[in-house]
């Protein structure tokens, strides 16, 4: 399936932000990896903190992976994986990886912030999955202008492939998207 080609550009009327700082509850000017060492973070389509333990395992399995272990989460964190969102991981534990401590995230600590084993598996969190064989799809774009194409474009790519593209610009910049083509597969959860 051909997904899209996107051209985007940014305007340069900038307002500098401090490195490694919080402003309005958002961590700015940092390196945030969406996937590292096979570990990746997912949240429900309904938003943050909406997955029970059973649903979290299902999300990982659907994408060909499993719940990440503490050691896998720590290995990913050591190479830059930083997500300030608690999620289920192996054996019913909940936590999240922190690279740089902050007042609003990690209780001022660095490491895997571990909430421990949860007795109530109906609690709702995000999830940390592990799949070392997952195909890289998507990425983080910071260029002034970029063309984005789906994997294997113009050929179709595998069904149920999940791609996340994140466009990151400096505070105060604008983003302009121009779609040349945009096709999506049928999905019972999609409100198209």
Based on the fold, state whether residues 55 and 122 are members of the same structural domain: yes
189 DSSP assignment? T
Number of neighbours of residue 132 by Cβ within 10 angstroms: 9
Q: What are phi and psi of 62, to 5 degrees?
A: -60, -35
Judgement on whether residues 47 and 111 belong to the same structural domain of the protein: yes
CA dihedral 38, 150, 31, 107 (to 10 degrees): -60
Q: What residues form DSSP beta bridges with 140? A: 166
Structural domain count of the chain: 2
pTM (2 decimals)?
A: 0.60
> In terms of domains, do 177 and 126 share one?
no
147's tokens: 């063309």
Both 125 and 65 in one domain: the answer is yes
Domain boundary among 115, 130, 145: 130
Residues 140 and 125 in one domain: no
User: Reduced to 3 states, what is the DSSP secondary structure of residue 134?
Assistant: coil
CA distance linking residue 109 with residue 89, whole number of Å: 19
| Residue 52 lies in domain | 32-130
Cα–Cα distance measured from residue 180 to residue 21, given in angstroms and rounded to the nearest whole number? 37
In angstroms, the CA 144 to CA 44 distance is 31
Asked if omega into 5 is within 30° of 0 (cis), the reply is no
Q: pLDDT per residue over 130-154, tens digit each? A: 988 766 566 667 777 777 777 667 7
Q: What is the pLDDT of residues 89-130, one digit of tens each?
A: 999 999 999 988 887 888 889 999 999 999 999 999 999 999
Whole-angstrom distance, CA of residue 111 vs CA of residue 99: 7
pLDDT digits 0-9 by tens, 11-68: 222 222 233 344 444 433 333 446 678 898 988 878 889 999 999 999 898 878 999 9
Task: Decide if 98 contacts 109 (C-beta within 8 A).
Answer: yes
Amino acid 138: pLDDT: 66
Given a cut of 60, is residue 192 above it in pLDDT?
Answer: no
Residues 62 and 124 in one domain: yes
- Inter-residue contact 65 to 129 (CB < 8 Å): yes
């Amino acid at each position: 399936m051909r997904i899209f080609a996107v051209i985007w550009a940014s305007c340069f009327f900038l307002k500098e932000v401090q490195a490694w700082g919080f402003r309005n509850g958002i961590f700015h000017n940092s390196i945030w990896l969406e996937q590292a060492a096979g570990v990746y973070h997912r949240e429900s389509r309904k938003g943050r903190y909406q997955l029970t333990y059973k649903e979290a395992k299902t999300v990982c399995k659907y994408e060909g992976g499993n719940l990440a272990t503490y050691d896998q989460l720590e290995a990913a964190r050591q190479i830059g994986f930083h997500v300030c969102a608690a999620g289920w991981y192996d054996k019913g534990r909940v936590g999240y990886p922190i690279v740089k401590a902050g007042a609003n995230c990690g209780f001022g600590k660095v490491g895997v912030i571990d909430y421990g084993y949860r007795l109530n598996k109906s609690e709702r969190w995000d999830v940390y999955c592990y799949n070392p064989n997952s195909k890289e799809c998507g990425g983080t774009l910071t260029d002034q202008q970029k063309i984005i194409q789906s994997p294997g474009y113009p050929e179709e790519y595998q069904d149920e492939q999940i791609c996340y593209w994140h466009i990151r610009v400096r505070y105060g910049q604008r983003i302009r998207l121009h779609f040349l083509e945009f096709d999506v597969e049928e999905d019972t959860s999609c409100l198209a």
